[in-house]
């Protein structure tokens, strides 16, 4: 007797739902993307209990007739692909034809839609059509998803807290709003508005709606293109960063995507301008021919493959570096850049088991910030399309980035007090010297391999496991200018060292050898030299609580002004901050009365 049988359609849809419908945010994603594909200009998402009880998406798109309203719930039913060739030129957000069938199989769905004079209402429960009837002639579509996972209790049980589910939905809606600033998006949970954009097409306005005025004021507009790619968007000043990398948003042909190599390259472009374990806020729109990308590699359609990824990475990296390197990046001491989101504060009495969640007590503490946006856009030099060709002389760029400063004192043997006509500056002498040393060491590592003999050769005994690694990488030390020989069991003797090592010679050599032994598997010589230069610079710099003379302070400031990046130490900490004259007058109540 045959034991292999074709699955029941509803069972197959439930299995497919395991990939397509992971959580409430997955439902919102699929439904809103359908609204966008239907050419909607106004999309409203209403949630009850973070979408667990109800998700309702209302749009003003082209709608469907009665036949399509029924067929759209069939598996692999789609209007977006006609033949195999279309799969290689996908220009819509959805195309698989799995989402609605999967959602309907694990919930109770009511679809109300209209494409002409007569509307259609379809009721489905657990994948079975209960009723199909005529409805109102309101153009567009309303789809309600109630009691998600009501017939798959195991999935319901392992949903996270209401807070977590709402956070995922909000995060994705924010990204959708950023990817389509020409669409009005509204997100409501339990009758509280969490997101509302105006659909004006102004991306900076959307950034302001999501992150707040304090962040939008510190965004830089960017634009570049090549034969294959056109990139536009906004990047944050290095002083604005987040603890998670979901603040890096890449959009390809209107689709929010994730590509780890691309995101890493964006973060790497900010290297030494910010702490390495934090991430900038970046929104990049990438336009590319659909034949050069493949989005059909995962059911979520967020993973994507580029046929010319290296070209894209080089283009993006160069664009960001060129934009940052001509900006004056001195943070204002009075400004407090806080992590702000469309939900400033949401508190729930929650547990990990969704079935034991009590009624959510939602508290919204949203600080009102008034911003005359049109006036701001006009007057904000950060968002204007500055012609960088005007800054073609490197020396001119450097001198303009860090103004002439006059040191007048030292606080706690750590901070240099300076002044000019603009205001009062505080310079962290250790961070400043670290930056100066870093750029010197980095240049020496890249260009110099001349050597000099040790007055007293350095003998080092190394654990046997580390000695094996060192033997394998000995050529790296030789190329730097070291002469090293074996000197017994697991022991080496250093006879010559590069001429650029002048102070703390034995300590510096030990640290270099340690860095070679501990280098990562995916080795990159440039990254290694950068890390080594930063390590050496830190050890060779002025320590805190070390008093220096005013002449030494002047020399340090002049050396800092010559640096490629005078605003941050190699680890991303600021070297200098400013209190403007206006700030000081306000603090002492000398203005504003």
pLDDT tens digits along 405-416: 888 888 888 899
Nearest-angstrom CA–CA distance, 84 and 453: 69
Could you tell me the fold of the domain covering 449-499+504-539? Ribosomal Protein S8; Chain: A, domain 1 (3.30.1370)
**CA angle 74–76–115, rounded 5-degree value:** 60
Rg for the chain, CA atoms, rounded? 30
Using DSSP's 3-state secondary structure scheme, residue 29 falls into helix
The residue to which tokens 């670290």 are assigned:
434
pLDDT of residue 439: 85
Among 277, 249, 257, 88, which Cα is nearest to 174's? 249
What is the pLDDT, as a whole number, of residue 106?
84
CB 286, CB 331: distance < 8 Å? no
pLDDT per residue over 515-533, tens digit each?
Answer: 788 765 555 666 777 777 7
pLDDT band at 448 (very low <50, low <70, confident <90, very high): low
Residue with tokens 């007569």: 118
What is the dotted CATH code of the domain comprising 213-324? 3.30.230.10
The Cα 167–Cα 343 span in angstroms is 9
Distance in angstroms (rounded) separating the CA atoms of residues 526 and 368: 47
Determine phi and psi for 394, rounding to 5 degrees. Answer: -60, -45
Q: Does pTM top 0.85 for this prediction?
A: no
The pLDDT of residue 320:
93
Q: What are the two backbone dihedrals, phi and then psi, of residue 214, each rounded to the nearest 5 degrees?
A: -65, -30
DSSP state of 319: H
Q: Where are the chain's structural domains?
A: 9-196, 213-324, 449-499+504-539
Lowest mean pLDDT among 155-164, 245-254, 582-591: 155-164
CATH class of 9-196: alpha beta
Distance CA 173, CA 190 (A): 16
pLDDT (mean) for 105-133: 88
């Amino acid at each position: 007797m045959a034991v292999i049988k074709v699955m029941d359609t509803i069972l197959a849809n439930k299995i497919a739902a395991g990939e397509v419908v992971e959580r409430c945010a997955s439902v919102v994603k699929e439904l809103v993307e359908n609204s966008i594909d239907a050419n909607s200009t106004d999309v409203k998402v209403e949630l009850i209990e973070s979408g667990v009880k109800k998700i309702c998406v209302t749009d003003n798109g082209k709608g469907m007739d009665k036949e399509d309203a029924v067929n759209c719930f069939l598996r692999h039913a789609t209007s977006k692909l006609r033949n195999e060739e279309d799969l290689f030129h996908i220009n819509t957000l959805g195309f698989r034809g799995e989402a609605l069938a999967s959602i309907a199989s694990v919930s109770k769905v009511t679809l109300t839609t209209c494409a002409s004079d007569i509307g259609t209402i379809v009721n489905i429960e657990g994948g079975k059509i209960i009723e199909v009837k005529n409805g109102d002639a309101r153009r567009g579509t309303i789809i309600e998803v109630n009691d998600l996972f009501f017939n798959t209790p195991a999935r319901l049980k392992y949903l996270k807290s209401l807070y977590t589910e709402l956070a995922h939905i909000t995060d994705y809606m924010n990204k959708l709003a950023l990817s389509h600033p020409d669409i009005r998006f509204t997100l409501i949970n339990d009758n509280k508005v969490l997101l509302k954009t105006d659909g004006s097409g102004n991306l900076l306005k959307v950034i302001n709606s999501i992150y707040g005025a304090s962040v939008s004021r510190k965004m830089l507009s960017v634009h570049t293109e090549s034969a294959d790619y056109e990139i536009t968007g906004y990047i944050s000043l290095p002083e604005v960063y987040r603890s998670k990398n979901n603040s890096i948003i890449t959009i390809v042909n209107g689709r929010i995507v994730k590509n780890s190599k691309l995101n890493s390259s964006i973060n790497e472009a900010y290297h030494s301008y910010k702490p390495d374990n934090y991430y900038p806020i970046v929104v990049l729109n990438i336009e590319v021919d659909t034949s050069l990308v493949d989005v059909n590699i995962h059911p979520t359609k967020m993973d994507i493959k580029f046929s010319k990824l290296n070209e894209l990475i080089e283009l993006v990296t160069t664009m960001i570096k060129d934009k940052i390197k001509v900006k004056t990046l001195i943070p204002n001491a009075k400004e407090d850049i806080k992590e702000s989101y469309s939900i400033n504060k949401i508190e729930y009495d929650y547990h990990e088991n969704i079935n034991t969640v009590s009624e959510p007590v939602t508290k919204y503490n949203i600080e009102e910030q008034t911003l005359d946006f049109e006036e701001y856009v006009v007057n904000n030099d950060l968002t204007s399309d500055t012609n960088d060709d005007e800054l073609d002389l490197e020396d001119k760029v450097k001198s303009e980035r860090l103004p002439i400063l006059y040191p007048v004192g030292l606080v706690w043997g750590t901070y240099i007090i300076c002044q000019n006509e603009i205001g009062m500056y505080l310079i962290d002498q250790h961070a400043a010297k670290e930056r100066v040393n870093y750029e010197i060491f980095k240049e020496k590592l890249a260009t110099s391999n001349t050597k000099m003999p040790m007055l007293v050769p350095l003998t080092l005994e190394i654990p046997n496991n580390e000695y094996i690694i060192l033997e394998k990488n000995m050529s790296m030390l030789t190329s730097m200018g070291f002469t090293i020989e074996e000197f017994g069991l697991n022991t080496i003797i250093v006879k010559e060292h590069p001429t650029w090592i002048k102070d703390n010679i034995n300590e510096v050599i030990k640290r270099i050898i340690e860095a070679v032994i501990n280098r990562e598997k995916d080795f990159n010589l440039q990254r290694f030299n950068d890390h080594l230069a930063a390590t050496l610079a830190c050890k060779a710099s002025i320590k805190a609580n070390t008093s220096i003379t005013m002449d030494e302070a002047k020399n340090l400031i002049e050396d800092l002004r010559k640096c490629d990046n005078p605003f941050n130490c190699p680890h991303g900490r600021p070297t200098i901050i400013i209190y403007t004259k206006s700030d000081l007058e306000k603090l002492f109540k000398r203005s504003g009365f």
